[in-house]
Structure 1
Amino acid sequence: MPLWKQPAALPDVAAMYGESRAQLDRQTANRPVDMARAISRLGVARGIKAFVRYGYLERNGQSTLAVLLGLVRVRHHPRAYLIGDLAGWLDRLQRRSRDKHAPARFGHAECRLADAVFAALTRDDTPGRWQAILLAVVDIESLQATGTAIESGPILSLRPKWVAAVDDSSAEVRLALALGSAAAGYTREGRPIDPVHSHWLPLERGARRFKTADKRLVNDPRVVATGRDPIRDLGALVERRLIEAGTKGQRRSRLVAAPGCSARLDDLARLLSGTLDLDKLLGLARTFVAIKWDQWSRDHGPRIAPTTDVPEEIWLIVRPACLPWPLTRDKDIPADSRIVRLLSGAEGSRAIEIARTRLRSVGIRLSLQTG
């Protein structure tokens, strides 16, 4: 129900109900999320300052009761346009969730996503609200990985300004940006070559459709991240990249971040100390892969001065042995997939010894003792 800024006469009310409408572009808003988008973009009749939400609950005997759900104020939301990136996907998900054969868990996940979008558009504009949207998207994709609602397709493309919307100045967001932008390389136009999205979901080239056969997801060997254990997923992703590089005669990690997105040493130090929320980090990274990287610039990235923190010495030994490029012109250290496999298997001493051997082969000698 609408609320006016000033008392409304009967002709005003009659005109509003007879002519006015809430709309998005040329379409009428007929869902709560659509209504919130229309309100946040001022796509409603002038003079209305807010809308009162009511829910209709069905009681015994099929009689209904109107329950007050809250107040939605009419105001311009500077980031409301970002939801347009998900609009088509949201529509497909809603249609699928209303199917009588849809699994209950998918219906619940779709509701959580719709609620997250509604909250971001009608409540306080904080990074946590926008993060909740992307993390709810990941919940949907996790269900799609099991074969549910694959006809809705994956999310397509996100504008780079999503990064500013979710940026809470945390190391998780910055590292998620580094991982989400990771690819074998980038073209001159800024498009990623072989991004990491295909390690979570079986995708056709271009990541616009799922790989399917007989209306089911194909069993793609490139999909190695299950979403159950962040550490195992990260290890499996890097190991898979090294294996694929080896089949092409390249002993490289083939993981390069977009310009301005590379991981910082102080953030890596926090990651290795075990103080970060890995579920949040990987969840955001899975959605950042959908960013339109050809529209990306360093100005879109988080801005915060780095600290002097650095990772432990052991990491400083392992990292040069797993680079996607030569260390220097005369020091080319081939990557070894055994290092990642041993680290994942809690055999750090053996992994470090292999890394030290690789470094010694190019003339780098270290005095650090392992064991």
Structure 2
Amino acid sequence: MTERHTHVLRGCTPSPLASYLKGLGLLRVLTACDPSLKAAWIGEHLQLDSAESAATLRAYLLDHYMPTPILAPWNGGSGFFEKDNKTAPQAILTSETPRFAAYRESLGVAEQSLRGMDRSASPKDQAKTQLLTRVRGLLPDVALDWFDAAILLAGDGAKFPPLLGTGGIDGRLDFTNNFMQRLLDLIDPSTGHATKKSSAWLDLAIFGCPAPGQDKFKIGQFSPSQVGGPNSSTGYTSEGRISPWDFILMLEGALAFAAAAVRRGDQGRGGVLSFPFTVRTTAAGNGAIGHTDWKDGKDGMTRGELWMPLWSHYASYNEIRSVFSEGRVALGTRPTRDALDFIRAIHRLGGYRGIDRFQRYNFLRRNGKAFLATPLERVQISTNPQSAWLDDLDQDGWLDSFRQFSRGANTARRFAVLRKQLEDALFELAGNDPTPARVQALLVLLGEIQFAIAHSAKAREVLRPIPRLSEAWVLHADDPDSPTFRIARALAGLRGEDGKPLPLRAQLFPVHPRINAWTETACTSKGAHNDLSCRVRLHTPTSGDLENDLIALLNRRLWLAERLAFKDKPLQSAAGIDLDDLDLFLRGRDIDRDIAALLPGLALCHIPFAPDRTAGKHRAAIGFALPALLMVSDATLRRRLDAGDEFHLPIPSGLIARLASNNPAQARRAMESAWRRLRASGLNPIGSARHPPELLGLSPRRVAAALLIPLTYGATSALLRAAIFPEASAAASHEPAQDDA
């Protein structure tokens, strides 16, 4: 068995982009020396698994490497036009070494393509497209990888992947002429031998070994720290210092993108979307980009994003090239379009073709027409994807529609801010475990977005309400230690009755209770005159003060129950709170702000049935029990009291208003009316009409607000036992009937 060697390339790291591409370039070039060569990203460095020793691989690069013909006769500065530096192209063209044979042939073809053209300046527009078509038709196969990596010829003209600028040029820096100049730093064109410094420069580039005498030259967009310019060193300006091998291997590595650009171009999607692992810029997950810095293209601040794959299992160049050739990550049935799509897609896949990480880069404009490949975060792909529930926001295309609307030139700025916050939240959740804190924060944000849309006539014309979210959202948001969550969940689960839905979201927002549409839209459509929900206004304006809002919502629900001829009180929920949570709510307002923030977002969700039926450890407050029992549905009371179908417990008129007044005298009248109503319905409440139970320090207004909060079955039973069934109420059972009036 042939001995294998492991080579740790400390000069090849996932960032900057120049170093990543250098690693790809080494794998590509050295495969000609060792066809069994494989590579993997282990930690922060590229490692090679080879049948050859390090000395053999070094010798191949120094003495046998034959450069890929990289040239751009369509660009100014490429060495083909009157004002260009022609030294390097001419030196290669007139060389005799076999190492430049393919290069000489390609340069000759380029000259042939330009024959008869005006060389005073590079061609523009249609003339440039015609030249590109002619050049690609004449170039030898060995040069086509470069052409296809730099340019995609589509039906509507040429398109340029951000990786190689605009066809091999970044601002005024032509990559190809610089590539040829760097080759002459490494290879003597007359003999083909390595230059004196080539060996030391190679060790610097590959192994990170110190090397004296690094030259000063521009590397362009690929390495921001080495690009030079103001503030890049301790002085006022600096020029980039790197090994020529860095530049050479970097461009060789970029050729891995060649076939993918051609294949994906067939899909007819223009711009940066036609290239592998390349998406439109989004500010999601990146604090360096503001909510307005999203525009791609020559007039924008960015030129798209690249997500460079990292793999920790050894793979050959052909295997890696196959991944790049496909270069397609889909979100459901559609290709990813921006970073938010991309991160959601890769985590849903739970791994992609052996890739376990991606290094994200954004091409940000630095000055003029030049850009920098700025490294952003590195994303570890989840092996146990749990973010499919986020797809609920894609229903009816809502998420895309909202993001597009928020970018409108005439759209209120608050929508752009909300979009950035939403993108950041989704970006974080797509790649991390959905902790209750993260999911609750997202629900709070969605509630704010729904309110913002509801209060904007322009937004309502364009956007539908946020789609109904599945139970998974509630389950992920569930914090077993949070009474705030349990109270908000119980309220969010309020519903109507069969055939007459009255979800809380239809009160908080002007939405139809059955369909995901604004009331004004649903109630002006054909057949709306037969819709009971369109005959009365369900929406209940809120103030942001939880106590006030709960009282307003309760009053409105009871009024709606009358107008819509409900058979029972619309105060039931799939979830309830126990006496411990109830006591916390009754005793103070410390948790009001958190409940008010979370409630609108939870109201957008399907609330799952909560199996907890316990009463809690606190004793039932008898003063609260009397009015609270009046809010319990007749159906629940019939089951609990074993009463017949005729049993009905109505709510006395003015009860809630008297409690909400917070006036002690009015509160006492409310308690008296509650006692009489219970007695009139055949129950034996504790106390008497003249001396009903007191609230004992509870705020009457707080009690009124708490009446809307659904209770667990156990808590309801505890209230019944405290107010109706205890032995102390036996005397009350003999009260004269006239006191029950």
Name the TM tier (shorter chain). 0.7 to 0.9
State the AA in 2 paired with 1:200: L
Larger relative contact order (C-alpha < 8 A, sep ≥ 6)?
Answer: 1
Structure 2: give runs of 5+ residues left out of the alignment: 1-307, 525-533, 697-741
Match of 1:316, SS? helix
Q: Within 5 Å, which residues of 2 pair with 1:179-328?
A: 179-186=491-498, 193-212=501-520, 221-226=537-542, 228-247=544-563, 253-258=569-574, 261-274=575-588, 277-292=591-606, 296=608, 298=609, 301=610, 307-310=616-619, 312-325=621-634, 327=637, 328=641
Aligned equivalent of 2:449: 140
Q: Distance in 1 between matches of 2:613 and 2:474?
A: 14
- Tell me which amino acid in the other structure corresponds to 1:176: A
Q: CA deviation at 1:93?
A: 0.6
Checking the alignment, whether the CA contact within 8 Å between 1:20 and 1:44 is kept in structure 2 is: no
The 3 A distance-change label for structure 1 pair 20 and 305 is farther
Cα distance change of structure 1 residues 247 and 352 upon mapping to structure 2, 3 Å threshold: farther
**Secondary structure at the counterpart of residue 509 of structure 2:** coil
Query: Does residue 42 of structure 1 match 2:353?
Result: no
Partner of 1:185, secondary structure, is coil
State how far apart, in whole Å, the 1-side matches of 2:546 and 2:695 are: 26
* Cα distance in structure 1, aligned partners of 2:658 and 2:376: 54
**In structure 1, distance between residues paired with 2:606 and 2:477:** 16
The answer to whether residue 685 in structure 2 is matched with residue 364 in structure 1 is yes
SS at match of 1:212: helix
3-state DSSP of counterpart to 1:193: coil
Describe the shift of the 1:7–1:78 C-alpha distance in structure 2 as closer, same or farther (beyond 3 A): closer
Q: Is the 8 A contact 2:495 2:502 kept in 1?
A: yes
Deviation at 1:305, TM superposition (A): 6.9
Paired residue type of 1:196: L
**Greater C-alpha Rg:** 2
Cα distance in 2 for residues equivalent to 1:263 and 1:43 = 37
Letter in 2 for 1:86: L
Check conservation: 2:501, 2:514, Cα contact below 8 A.
no
Structure 1 match to 2:378: 71
Change (3 A) 1:237 1:113: same
SS in 2 for 1:194: coil
Opposite residue 398 of structure 2, the aligned amino acid is: W
5+ residue gaps, structure 1, are none
Choose from 485, 495, 500 the match for 1:173: 485
CA positional deviation for 1:357: 2.2
Deviation at 1:167, TM superposition (A): 0.8
Following superposition, the deviation at residue 62 of structure 1 comes to 5.5
Q: Tell me, yes or no, if the aligned pair for 1:156 and 1:207 is still in contact at 8 Å.
A: no
Taking the aligned partners of 1:133 and 1:157, their CA distance within structure 2 comes to 15
How many angstroms apart in 1 are the aligned matches of 2:620 and 2:510?
A: 34
Q: Which residue of 1 aligns with 2:329?
A: 22
Provide the alpha-carbon RMSD of the alignment.
3.3
1:160 aligned to 2:467?
A: no
The Cα shift of 1:57 comes to 3.5
The one-letter code matched in structure 2 to 1:177 is: R
What amino acid is aligned across from residue 3 of structure 1 in structure 2? L
C-alpha separation in 2, matches of 1:307 and 1:246:
33
Deviations 1:126-170 (A, max 9, x none): 111111221111111110121252222112222222222111112
Aligned length: 359
Report the Cα offset of residue 86 of structure 1.
0.9
Length-normalised TM-score, structure 1: 0.83
Q: CA deviation at 1:232?
A: 1.5
Q: Does 1:149 align with 2:459?
A: yes
User: Which segment is superposed worse, 7-16 or 227-236?
Assistant: 7-16
Partner of 2:257: none
Contact 1:55 1:66 (C-alpha < 8 Å) held by counterparts: yes
Structure-2 change in CA distance of 1:56 and 1:110 (3 Å): same
The 3-state SS of whatever aligns with 2:400 is helix
TM-score (norm 2): 0.44
Partners in 1 of 2:519 and 2:544 — Cα distance? 22
CA contact (8 A) 1:85 1:159 kept: yes
**1: CA distance between counterparts of 2:668 and 2:453?**
38
Match of 2:415 in 1: 106
> Partner of 2:501: helix, strand, or coil?
strand
Q: How is 1:72-87 mapped onto 2 (pairs within 5 angstroms)? A: 72-87=379-394
The CA deviation string for residues 27-49 of structure 1, in whole angstroms up to 9 with x for no partner, is 11122221121111127631211
Q: Distance in 1 between matches of 2:633 and 2:542?
A: 25
Q: Closer, same or farther in 2 for the Cα pair 1:348/1:126, shift >3 Å?
A: farther
**Is the 8 Å Cα contact of residues 185 and 193 (structure 1) preserved in structure 2?**
yes
Deviates more, 1:49-58 or 1:274-283: 274-283
**Partner SS for 2:634:** coil
How far apart, CA to CA, are the structure 1 residues paired with 2:695 and 2:617? 25
CA contact (8 A) 1:135 1:283 kept: yes
Indicate whether 1:53 and 2:360 are aligned. Answer: yes
Instruction: Report deviation, 1:7.
Output: 5.5
Q: CA deviation at 1:206?
A: 1.3
Tell me the distance in 1 between the aligned counterparts of 2:470 and 2:623: 38
Distance 1:255 1:238 in 2: 8
Q: Distance in 1 between matches of 2:562 and 2:648?
A: 16
Mapped partners of 1:351, 1:145: distance in 2: 36
Question: Do the aligned partners of residues 348 and 177 (structure 1) sit closer, same or farther apart at CA in structure 2, a change above 3 Å counting?
Answer: farther
Contact in 1 for aligned 2:502/2:570 (Cα 8 Å): no
Mean alpha-carbon deviation: is it higher for 232-241 or for 261-270? Answer: 261-270
Q: CA deviation at 1:58?
A: 3.4
Report SS of the residue matched to 2:344.
helix
Q: Distance in 2 between matches of 1:125 and 1:286?
A: 20
Contact 1:269 1:309 in 2 (8 A): yes
Classify 1:357/1:349 alpha carbon distance in 2 versus 1 (closer, same or farther; 3 Å): same
Once the 2 structures are TM-superposed, how far is the Cα of residue 104 of structure 1 from its aligned partner? 0.6
Partners of 2:314 and 2:432 in 1: how far apart? 26
Structure 1 stretch displaced more, 67-76 or 138-147: 67-76
* Structure-1 separation of matches of 2:695 and 2:509: 38
